C-alpha cells in the first residue's frame, strides 16, 4: 500500500553510501539548500540516530517526526512502531519527507510513492550506512545534472 504524500529524500554515493560516524558522507551546499527548500514547513521523518545527528539548533521551520521505541521529544512527535506512523501518514494530506537513516529508508520504501535522490558520482570507502536497493518498478520522472567543487551529481525524482 503506497501513501501518496510520503516522499523519500536522500543523497547517496555510487555504492548507495549515506553516512558515516553519524554524519553525511558529502556536504554539498546546493543540495543542502535544496533540502531546506523542499522540507521547509513540512514534516520530516527520521530515526533516532538521524535526529541526534542534527545541528544543536535543529532545523527551524520543519515539523519533526521520529521513529523510536524510547525517545521523548518536546519539539516533535514520536512514533513507537511502523503501524503507528502509517496511521498518522494516512490521516494527513501534508507531504512527509523521509530523511533517514538507512533503516528508516528500508522500512518505509514499500509505502512511499516518490523518491528524490541526489546521486553523487563518488565513492566513500568509509561509509557505514547505506541506502537500500530499489527495484525496477521505480521510474525516473525528472533528472537534472550538477557540478559543485568538481563533484558531479544528479538530482533524480523517481515515482512508482
Of 130 and 76, more confident = 130
Is the pLDDT confidence value at 55 over 90?
no
Tens-place pLDDT, residues 20-51: 998 999 999 999 999 999 999 999 999 999 99
Q: What separation, in Å, do the N-terminal and C-terminal C-alpha atoms of the chain show?
A: 11
Tens-place pLDDT, residues 77-133: 999 999 999 999 999 999 999 999 999 999 999 999 999 999 999 999 999 999 999
CA gap 10, 46 in Å, rounded:
11
Of 56 and 80, more confident = 80
**72 vs 46, 47, 53, CA distance in Å?**
14, 13, 16
Taken in order 8, 54, 148, 123, the sign of the CA dihedral is negative
Amino acid at each position: 500500500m503506497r501513501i501518496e504524500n510520503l516522499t523519500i529524500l536522500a543523497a547517496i554515493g555510487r555504492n548507495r553510501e549515506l553516512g558515516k560516524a553519524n554524519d553525511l558522507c558529502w556536504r554539498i551546499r546546493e543540495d543542502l539548500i535544496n533540502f531546506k527548500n523542499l522540507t521547509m514547513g513540512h514534516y520530516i521523518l527520521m530515526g533516532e540516530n538521524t535526529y541526534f545527528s542534527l545541528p544543536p539548533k535543529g532545523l527551524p521551520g520543519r515539523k519533526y517526526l521520529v521513529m523510536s521505541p524510547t525517545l521523548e521529544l518536546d519539539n516533535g512527535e514520536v512514533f513507537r512502531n511502523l503501524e503507528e506512523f502509517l496511521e498518522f501518514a494516512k490521516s494527513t494530506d501534508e507531504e512527509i519527507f523521509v530523511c533517514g537513516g538507512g533503516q528508516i529508508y528500508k522500512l518505509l520504501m514499500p509505502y512511499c510513492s516518490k523518491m528524490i535522490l541526489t546521486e553523487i558520482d563518488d565513492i566513500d570507502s568509509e561509509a557505514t550506512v547505506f541506502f537500500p536497493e530499489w527495484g525496477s518498478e521505480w521510474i525516473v520522472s525528472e533528472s537534472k545534472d550538477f557540478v559543485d567543487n568538481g563533484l558531479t551529481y544528479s538530482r533524480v525524482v523517481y515515482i512508482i
